[in-house]
Structure 1
Amino acid sequence: MAGDRHLRPAQEADPVWRLWQGLPPEWRGPVIGPGIADWDKYTENDDRRVNLVGLPEVMIAELAWMAHWQAMDGTRSSVLATNQLANIVRRAMRENRPFPSSIRQMDWQTAFALQGWFYATRWGRLAPPDARARLRVIFRFARLALIARCHDGPCWELDDWNPRCDPRIPLTDREPLGNYGCSPGHITTEWLRPAVKWCLGTQLEAGTLRWTTVSQQRLKCLRRFDNWLTAAFTDPAEALGDPAAAAGQAAAFRRWVSDPRNRMTRESDSRHFDKRIHPRQLNDDLRAVAELFAFAAADPAQTQAVLGPGPWDRVTDTHAAAWLRQVTRIPHQRELNDEHYVDDHALTQIPAALPLLALPRDQQMPITRGDRSEVLAHGFDDPQAMRMILLQVLTGRRSSEIRTCRFDCLSAVPGATVDAAENEQIARFHYAQSKIDIAPDNILVDREVVAVIEEQQQWVRESFPGITPSHLFLQRTGNRQGDKPYPSGTYTFMLREFSKVVQITDSKGRPVSLSHTHRFRHTKLTRLAELGLPVHVLMRYAGHATPSMTMHYIAARQEHAEQAFLATTKLKADGTRIVFSHDDHDSLHLFNRADRFLPHGWCLLPPLQTCDKGNACLTCSVFVTDASHQPALERQLSETQALIDRADATFQERHGHPMPEDNVWLLQRRAEHHALTRLLDTIRAKPGRAVQGAGCGTTLTGPVPVALDLDHHRRIRP
């Protein structure tokens, strides 16, 4: 290109020229846009061009590479933001305003100040918020990607880590490439920062720690240690001094991090001030510091070679042992409670309110809050969040396992059949198991879960046409290739704001925050346990490696304990026990819940409930029968028809006209006759199957409405 002649060749020492040389010729600038096929797909500003004319050579190469990286990343090249930054630099050059010589040296604070100067000197006003936000976009991911590609040393030497921007950061097969990163460069203590980078980076590369653990837990623990050093010492290096003082310092640190106000690593953590700090969190903080000390003390020669002379020369195994001794033992026997259990009262409110999440923001719908008050609320325009939380309720999966599962997450189950009459549909759901490597990553699901997943797949096809999506739930913006999952922060924010509006409460009037989605995992596993599933089956369904972890999720509900006792202790009116034979036991527990014999079938009403229908069993939804009662049913059908004929003849003889069809007695007999007819038709069609609900099983031909079965967990076995 003619505009390339003033740029330096790729053999220069600056690695940015190597990146520039690897760009397609049409992307090298200084004007980017002409000659690029499908330019409108890569840019967010239609036919606008990126104009880098007049900028320093290094900046032209950097901004050209950043624009191309944004396009290949699946976002769109920030044309307006790049051009505005170019205008700011050109004006600074004309007016001799100092500015960094490259984008890599220009952090966000410097760019923020330059933008403010630009607006003040050119237009005499402050920079508007949208201009600030637009410029910040290119300093988030594109600049980090540029810095990572130009860094020839280990990836852990950088101040900001993000797998999306730096492919050298190792990820396991079960860890999706998300938008989140971490910044060890935020550690303020000069001698601590490189040690944390080296320790965590080495363990990450060796596979001792996973990226999820490093970015979301371990680095936060060490940042709290950094904050404590600054707050507790005039000279933070005293923490690596006398080994005899290490035990007292560790105890002081434990007391300090026990205060929720001292645990902040970002502003959003302030909402957790009123929460109790679990001993396990304190142990994590202490263990992270102890492991850092042990890592540095394991090889003093290498520590000095990597970190240079400094406070780390004094650290010993004694320091690590003293800190590790402050880790307290947490009893394995947890308190039996239902703290994390979501009861039926709350679950009945959730499906009724969930459509509000999918409703467009310019529309409203009435909702009933937990306190029975009715309000008119605006929609949240997020159908994906609605389906994600519904899948968590139905399956008991972790939020990450739903949010990052792949698009084609359903597969057929060999040997499974679909019963059209019962509308049963069994499929295998492959979720995104990223926590335990040896744990399974799939479960069997029913038609309700399949219906929700298929509805989401259809939404993705309509919202992202012409692409092959990687995930079932997608980031809605900056995701042209469909390879970025729904952000975890957005999901939490949506559910937190949704909870504020709908105000779900349980049967005791306590608020149920929907953003704490792990409660639904506790609830699902508790209900499966109450059905009598063996521990190894529960462990397989939960995706746990040990049965003790599975039992941690089971809530000891007083209601279920009483039901289980009454189900196993049958008493007569005089208080004596009822003795059943083995056959009686099997008959009484048809489908694990029947306890009433009828002449023509069984009643499935639970033992603790009473019936107010009299003898209207034929039209009752909990009535069940089978082919063994076919003669009795056929006899009852003929007798019912004969009874109708006799009554009609008597009525006509007395009144001179046939009995009206709306006669109350006749309506009931007609209903019984119709129910008997359907029962017998079903029995003849399927002689080996029990028929429930007066033979009213039908095949749904339209969309399947998802309704939570709030009674299923009460079907207990003695």
Structure 2
Amino acid sequence: LQHHLLETTPNLILKRSVILIRCGLRVSDACTIRFDCLLHDGQGAPYLRYFNNKMSREAAVPIDEEIEAEVRSQQQRVLQRWPDGNPHVFPGLKGNADGTRHFSPDTYRQMLKRWLAQCDVRDENGQPVHLTPHQWRHTFATRLINRDVPQEVVRVLLDHDSHQMTAHYARITDQTVRRRWEAATKVNIRGERVTLNPEGPLAQAEWAKTRYGLATQTLPNGYCGLPVQKSCPHANACLTCPVFLTGPEFLPEPKAQHRRTPTLIDNAKGCGHQRVAEMNEQVAANLDQMITELEADGPQEAADAG
């Protein structure tokens, strides 16, 4: 039975784990997915239908083509063992000759624990990793929040009954992003380090302004520090703008722009566009200062930020 259905223990764990990670399901819901779980909307987009055991109701979550293909592959393995059909995508492994029992969440937890031990997965302190399936649901939620998906959309995707639990993920994510932002190197166009005082009287307001900028004024080479009530009238003038900020995670872009700028200066001078040449010379000088300051912390901070 194990050979027909799931091939190897890593594959067994992987297939359930992918659903937990990419769909945000609880482990009890993932293990009880019905065989006819795939749905499609009018545009042909796939969805995974499941039963929310905590809320005792049907639910569905949009999935990508890769997840759909994995589910269909699992369905075919089930049909090889039960040609007349089976109610579950993941039938139980033992004592289940008729296929009526679903895979046990406790069995999955134990197999995951053994697999992590066999792979010798360790944390940043060299200690064995302790991982629970529900942590992947948290990861799914915080990734959505980090991408600034509206909380109501996150609530629907997680099938939460209230907004309070979804708001909990948003608060945790915001606190994590804030701590990293406060600790990270940030420089302005003059290469001067800019810091936020987490204990100052404007701490909350400064962070709200910064978070808004990160979400709505994304730039390829840094951040915009313009007040939220104002709009920027200058297209592509960031590297001469006093409210522009950047950090180690953006280093490849300033470096690439720094390499391109001498050509722009030469072309402008060759065409007699002295003002354009002067502006690009200022950009080159600012890039020099920013890159020098960002590289002062070494490559490790850039790797951590990325």
Same fold (TM over 0.5): yes
Residues 1:458 and 2:99 are matched in the alignment: no
In the other structure, the counterpart of 1:511 is 128
In the other structure, the counterpart of 1:447 is 65
Letter in 2 for 1:488: P
In the other structure, the counterpart of 2:33 is 405
In the other structure, the counterpart of 1:367 is none
CA contact (8 A) 1:427 1:446 kept: yes
Match for 2:54 among 435, 440, 465?
435
SS at match of 1:431: strand
Structure-2 change in CA distance of 1:534 and 1:509 (3 Å): farther
| Count of equivalent residues | 214
Provide the rounded CA distance (Å) in 1 between the counterparts of 2:55 and 2:70: 26
Q: CA deviation at 1:505?
A: 2.4
CA contact (8 A) 2:221 2:250 kept: no
Letter in 2 for 1:411: L
Letter in 2 for 1:552: H
TM-score by length of 1: 0.26
CA RMSD of aligned residues (A): 4.0
Provide the rounded CA distance (Å) in 2 between the counterparts of 1:396 and 1:468: 27
SS at match of 2:108: helix
CA contact (8 A) 1:428 1:443 kept: yes
- For residues 201-259 of structure 1, the C-alpha deviation after alignment (integer angstroms, 9 at most, x for no partner) is xxxxxxxxxxxxxxxxxxxxxxxxxxxxxxxxxxxxxxxxxxxxxxxxxxxxxxxxxxx
CA contact (8 A) 1:384 1:456 kept: no
* Larger RCO (CA under 8 A, 6+ residues apart): 2
In the other structure, the counterpart of 1:394 is 22
In the other structure, the counterpart of 2:252 is 611
Q: CA deviation at 1:479?
A: 3.0
Match for 1:533 among 146, 149, 173?
149
Provide the rounded CA distance (Å) in 2 between the counterparts of 1:442 and 1:395: 10
Provide the rounded CA distance (Å) in 2 between the counterparts of 1:538 and 1:499: 29
Unaligned runs of 5+ in 1: 1-357, 361-379, 417-425, 578-584, 598-604, 618-713
SS at match of 1:572: coil
Residues 1:415 and 2:43 are matched in the alignment: yes
Provide the rounded CA distance (Å) in 1 between the counterparts of 2:90 and 2:138: 23
Residues 1:384 and 2:3 are matched in the alignment: no
SS at match of 1:441: strand
Provide the rounded CA distance (Å) in 2 between the counterparts of 1:398 and 1:606: 37
- For residues 563-606 of structure 1, the C-alpha deviation after alignment (integer angstroms, 9 at most, x for no partner) is 66799x983326599xxxxxxx99x979x563486xxxxxxx99
Q: CA deviation at 1:400?
A: 0.8
TM-score by length of 2: 0.57
Provide the rounded CA distance (Å) in 1 between the counterparts of 2:183 and 2:220: 14
Q: CA deviation at 1:398?
A: 0.5
Structure-2 change in CA distance of 1:557 and 1:550 (3 Å): closer
Q: CA deviation at 1:553?
A: 4.0
Residues 1:552 and 2:168 are matched in the alignment: yes
Provide the rounded CA distance (Å) in 1 between the counterparts of 2:67 and 2:56: 25
Name the larger-Rg structure.
Answer: 1
- For residues 124-160 of structure 1, the C-alpha deviation after alignment (integer angstroms, 9 at most, x for no partner) is xxxxxxxxxxxxxxxxxxxxxxxxxxxxxxxxxxxxx
In the other structure, the counterpart of 1:594 is 220
In the other structure, the counterpart of 1:479 is 96
Alignment of 1:62-141 (within 5 A): none
CA contact (8 A) 1:397 1:521 kept: yes
Identity level (%): 24
Provide the rounded CA distance (Å) in 2 between the counterparts of 1:552 and 1:589: 22
